[in-house]
A and B are shown apart, each in its own frame.
Chain A
Amino acid sequence: MDDAIELAEQATSVDPEVGLRAVASLRLLADRLEELQVDRARALGWTWQRIADALGVSKQAVHKKHRRRAPRGRGGRR
């Protein structure tokens, strides 16, 4: 039974239609997780620099992408 499912999955993942949809979904999921984590980090008072280091991008990039949503917590300046 499990083998059958696995086979079916292998078969479908060769199909670009499914493969590409999987990539798109993965990107959506990653973006959403990034938003959640950045929001939490900001709420905990992290600086943009620290978040950027963790994500492996520049602080400008992080700031540009997330500033609208995530004001700094704990009375941080805005």
Chain B
Amino acid sequence: MNEKATPLPAKQSPGLGGHWSTLTSKYSIYLVLVGMIFISSFLNPAFFSEANFSNVSRQISITTILAFGQTLLIICGMIDLAQGSVMALAGLLAVIFYKNTGLLVPSLFVGMLVGVLCNLASGLIVVRFNTPPFIATLAMQTAGRGLALLLTAGQNIYQLGNFVVWGQGVILGIPTPVIFLIGVTAFTWYLLNHWRLGRYIYAVGGNQEAARATGIQVKKTKLLAFAANGVFVGLAGVLYMSRVNAGLPNAGVGFEFDAMTAAIIGGTSFSGGVGTAIGTLAGAFIMGFLSNIMNLIGIQSYVQQIVKGAIIVMAVAYDIASKSKRRKAILGEKSPAK
């Protein structure tokens, strides 16, 4: 059957209004962040200060590092529900290693190694048995927590000594967790934008079968995404234990959900194939500033939870609505023949 091709409409200049619309839709999440900073500055004078920005950056660094791991996995069409448990296990093993050997730098690598091994185990279950990542990482969540508790008999470990430099140190006026956060942000951005693996991650998450048809090794890509997540989770574990100056087997409960929230607010799509490192960073800062300003102005704990929920929904709804507007504009102009 022959179909008559509809002629493409003449390309029109978007004009000033169009430019503004494109800008707001493309950078909506950053506008939300800037708006939040602007409003918060009037709500409390202590908010817009170098000390407070340093404070918030330090507070969000661990969750944001985890959020970059979730971003890679979600873009690749997967998820990690074990981040909190594996973070606790990796951090504890790093603490135990440090307390027994006194070796500071290797302790950081021990944490990351544990993170990678646990994530590779989850990844192998996913690719070897075609298990949904939800199930494989849920199993790892339970096993990881059990191991952490078994290792310590449920007791906290104190007196970490110099181990605290990872989470409490300051280099050139910048808190060490923030330095690690900058490093992880740069790494994730570079991986997603300039490495072949980054393109493969987008391709596998966007359409796994199409990616396979083009010759991409889907299983290997998934395993590498899990491994990268493992490095981040292990690092987060070391930073967390060091920041609170204790080895806590019950650390990180629910952290994976905070990490997912930051990624999703930052524009990562749960259906896979979409997301950016800078978007996730913006999402994490929105969450961090929100929590910070509510504490600064003394909002009650119960009310904070309600406000957080409402603002998450509003931010995401605004982001989705502006993207949908943009998509309609693009489709209206460029694909009428479809």
Is this pair of chains taken from one and the same complex? no
